Amino acid sequence: MKKKKRNFNARFWSGTKKHSVPGLLEAFFQFNDLAIVKEALSAMMQCSVEKNARIKDYPSEVFHLHQSLRSLVRAGRVIGEKAGEWTVLPPAESHAPAPGMGLLSEEEYREPLRVFRKAFKTCRPGEFDDFLASVVYFSLGDAAVGEEQRLIRPYLHLAKMLDAAYLIVQRGMKGKEDAS
């Protein structure tokens, strides 16, 4: 069966308007290194909550990261909604989480689709959009966000989604229609 392609607003950073969910995840990690994205997201978060701290170097990269993470969140929402229709291939080696997957529990490591389901049960998609906009805005300016607590929950879920998306790309994902 033909894979359905959707518009995740990825044209700015990937050059292609429509992607399938697995295609968008692959494109995301072709353009972004997981460790660098997590480090940049952490730096943006830190600059957002500290007064007189901002990212001075390469503000265009912050905007690029915002656009690509926004597309990843949109794809993650689809994954969360249709998690029962897809399966992720099991890890080839042991069941222990790989280095760099520190936020994922062993259960989430074995079944990364669970991360997306949980993230969108806890936070609305608009909360992720607000989080990304706030983090970019406050990390590029000298002001600090007044309500740090509203940033923590989406930040943690997004960091876990990055790890889970990386696992999905590494292992592969199959839909029910691909099983035959």
Mean pLDDT (the chain, rounded): 82
| Tens-place pLDDT, residues 103-140 | 888 888 888 999 999 999 999 989 999 999 888 888 88
Residue 179 has pLDDT above 50, yes or no: no
Sequence-ordered list of residues with C-beta below 8 angstroms from that of 136, at least 6 positions apart, any chain: 44, 62, 63, 66
Q: What is the spatial distance between Cα 147 and Cα 66, in angstroms, rounded to a whole number?
A: 20
Q: Which amino acid is at 76?
A: G
pLDDT bracket for residue 16 (50, 70, 90): confident
pLDDT bracket for residue 77 (50, 70, 90): very high
Q: Three-state DSSP class for 117? A: helix
Residue 1: how many other CB atoms lie within 10 Å: 8
pLDDT at 134: 87
The better pLDDT of the pair 158, 84 is held by 158
pLDDT at 178: 46
pLDDT at 137: 83
Q: Three-state DSSP class for 153? A: helix
The better pLDDT of the pair 79, 94 is held by 79
As given in the structure block, the two tokens for residue 79 are 């994954």
Is residue 116 within 8 Å of residue 157, measured between CB atoms? no
Q: Which residue has the tokens 């929950």?
A: 153
Measuring CA to CA, which residue among 34, 30, 11, 10 is closest to residue 102? 34
| Tens-place pLDDT, residues 22-60 | 889 999 999 999 999 999 898 888 887 777 677 777 777
Phi first, then psi: give them for residue 132, nearest 5 degrees.
Answer: -60, -45
- Highest-confidence segment of 53-62, 65-74, 82-91: 65-74
pLDDT at 12: 76
CA angle 127/128/132 to nearest 5° reads: 115
